[in-house]
Each structure stands twice: as structure tokens, then as C-alpha cells.
């Protein structure tokens, strides 16, 4: 898998909100094989049961499944972010502890594969259109979440819906 960087910080969105996490950012960079990848994580101070978050774009990288399985073999916890533009991996989907998938109307990702009380389906669009998201995902099993620049306003709009609200990060 090609990785631009591995960073350590707090998870600020999703079911792992506030959890110390190692973030894996995919893209043009150094190609990591499983042994190199795990060695680099060890050098950064990772321990058993700590969280790795493979950020959006990771599903498009070759061999990401091999890295996920290697991390699980080392008893690490794995969260995978996806934007819905790539089909979910059937062979290692359940190896991932948590999926955080950004909702898109027309997508190839099977949102129905997401698990209840374990995975998150996230809306990050105009708050005025959040009703469309809620209607289209009402019968799907995962927890629903909304990213909003004004969480108080989002709360007022959504207080009768079973959704989590996260503050949009400043860039």
C-alpha cells in the first residue's frame, strides 16, 4: 500500500471520537509492505489494542487488505474510512473493527453491509439536505452521523432523529 504519512492524534469524528489513534493516510508516497508497516508503527509507539484508522482513499490502494490482516494478527484495532466510491471488500470486510463510511447518493459501496451498533454512516453535505440522507438511510443498520459547521443548529434540526452530530473540523 502506498502511504503518504502515518500520524498520531485524537479521533475527532466517528464512533472512536476522542480515542488516541494512529492515522494512515494513503496516496503517492512510500510503498509499505506488511512487515515494514508494522515495524514503523512499533517505532511510533503502538501497542496491542490501540486503534489504527485507514483514512479515505485507502480502499483504492493495492494490498490494503494485507495490511489490515497483519494489524489484526498483532491484536491492533482497525477502523476504515471510505467514501462510498469503491465497492466494499468481501474477503476482509469483517476483519475491520469499525467502518466509517461517508454517504453519497449514487455509489457502489453496499451500505447494507454495514453493521448495527458497530459501524457509522456519515453525512457531510449541506445541512439543508440532511433530511434526504435520513430518509434514504432510515432502514439501514449502521449508526448515523452528521458533520455540521454549526452543531447547535444541526441539533435543533435533528433532535428527534437518532443521529450523532460532529463538528466540522477547521482546515
> What pLDDT is attached to residue 32?
86
Q: Cα–Cα distance between 9 and 122 in angstroms, integer?
A: 21
At 89, list the grid cell.
471488500
pLDDT in tens, 96-144: 999 999 998 888 999 999 999 999 999 999 999 999 999 999 999 999 9
pLDDT, position 170: 74
According to DSSP, the β-strands at 20-31 and 2-10 are antiparallel
Contacts (Cβ under 8 Å, ≥6 apart) of 5 = 25, 29
Show the beta-strand stretches assigned E in the chain.
Answer: 2-10, 20-31, 51-54, 77-82, 98-102, 120-123, 143-148, 163-167
Please give the share of the chain, as a percent, with pLDDT higher than 90: 85
β-pairing, 98-102 with 77-82? parallel
CATH number of the domain that residue 113 is part of: 3.20.20.70
Note the pLDDT of residue 171: 61
The span from the first CA to the last CA of the chain, in angstroms, equals: 26
Residue-wise DSSP of 12-29: -SSTTTT-EEEEEEEEEE
Q: Is the pLDDT of residue 30 over 90?
A: no
**The total number of structural domains that make up the chain:** 1
On average, the pLDDT of the chain sits at 93
As a whole number of angstroms, the distance between CA 44 and CA 36 comes to 12
Distance, CA of 25 to CA of 39 (rounded, Å): 17
Statement: residue 31 has pLDDT above 70: yes
State the residue range of the domain holding 76. Answer: 2-167
Of 163, 169, 15, the C-alpha closest to 100 is: 15
Reported as a pLDDT band with limits 50, 70 and 90, residue 62 is confident
| Strand partners of residue 8 | 22
Q: What is the pLDDT of residues 64-93, one digit of tens each?
A: 999 999 999 999 999 999 998 889 999 999
- pLDDT tier for residue 169 given thresholds of 50, 70 and 90: confident
Amino acid at each position: 500500500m502506498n502511504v503518504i504519512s502515518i500520524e498520531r492524534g485524537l479521533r475527532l469524528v466517528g464512533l472512536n471520537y476522542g480515542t488516541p489513534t494512529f492515522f494512515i493516510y494513503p496516496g503517492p508516497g512510500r510503498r509499505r509492505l506488511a512487515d515494514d508497516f508494522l515495524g514503523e508503527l512499533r517505532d511510533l509507539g503502538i501497542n496491542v489494542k490501540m486503534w489504527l484508522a485507514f483514512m479515505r482513499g485507502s480502499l483504492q490502494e493495492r494490498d490494503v487488505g494485507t495490511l489490515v490482516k497483519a494489524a489484526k494478527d498483532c491484536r491492533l484495532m482497525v477502523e476504515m474510512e471510505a467514501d462510498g466510491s469503491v465497492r466494499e471488500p468481501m474477503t476482509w470486510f469483517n476483519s475491520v473493527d469499525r467502518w466509517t463510511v461517508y454517504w453519497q447518493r449514487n455509489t457502489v459501496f453496499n451500505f447494507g453491509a454495514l453493521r448495527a451498533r458497530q459501524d457509522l454512516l456519515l453525512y457531510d453535505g449541506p445541512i439543508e439536505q440532511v433530511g434526504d440522507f435520513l430518509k434514504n438511510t432510515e432502514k439501514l443498520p449502521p449508526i448515523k452521523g452528521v458533520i455540521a459547521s454549526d452543531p447547535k443548529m444541526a441539533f435543533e434540526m435533528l433532535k428527534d432523529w437518532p443521529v450523532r452530530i460532529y463538528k466540522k473540523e477547521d482546515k
